Amino acid sequence: GENVEQHPSTLSVQEGDSAVIKCTYSDSASNYFPWYKQELGKRPQLIIDIRSNVGEKKDQRIAVTLNKTAKHFSLHITETQPEDSAVYFCAASIPGNQFYFGTGTSLTVIP
């Protein structure tokens, strides 16, 4: 099956700086790559996603890039704010809608 690896596991940045989280996947059939934000004690919530036929997608301060050849995708958060502090998960979906998640990145934004 699919294997998704996520790095780093923890990340601390100063408020206003950028944060980058990287994921790799193993199954070339994966065609959908969502990113989730999970606050303590809450459910994961989708923040941005990208399909395999797109190289980059941006939504305000958040962007995702996908390199299908290298099988990696990244989340970029610019102008970080304290409310961005949370655990972020990447995921990859293979046809048939099975999702495989990374192990998460705990992001702390220091005011």
Partner 1 sequence: NAGVTQTPKFRVLKTGQSMTLLCAQDMNHEYMYWYRQDPGMGLRLIHYSVGEGTTAKGEVPDGYNVSRLKKQNFLLGLESAAPSQTSVYFCASSTSGLPYEQYFGPGTRLTVT
For the window 40-59, what string marks contact with partner 1 as x by the rule CB under 8 A?
--xxxxx--x-x--------
Question: How near is the Cβ of 9 to partner 1 at its closest, in Å?
Answer: 8
Considering beta carbons, is residue 74 or 106 the nearer one to partner 1? 106
Question: How near is the Cβ of 32 to partner 1 at its closest, in Å?
Answer: 5
DSSP letters for 30-88: --EEEEEEE-TTS--EEEEEEETT-SEEEETTEEEEEETTTTEEEEEE-S--GGG-EEE
By CB under 8 A, residue 1 contacts partner 1: yes
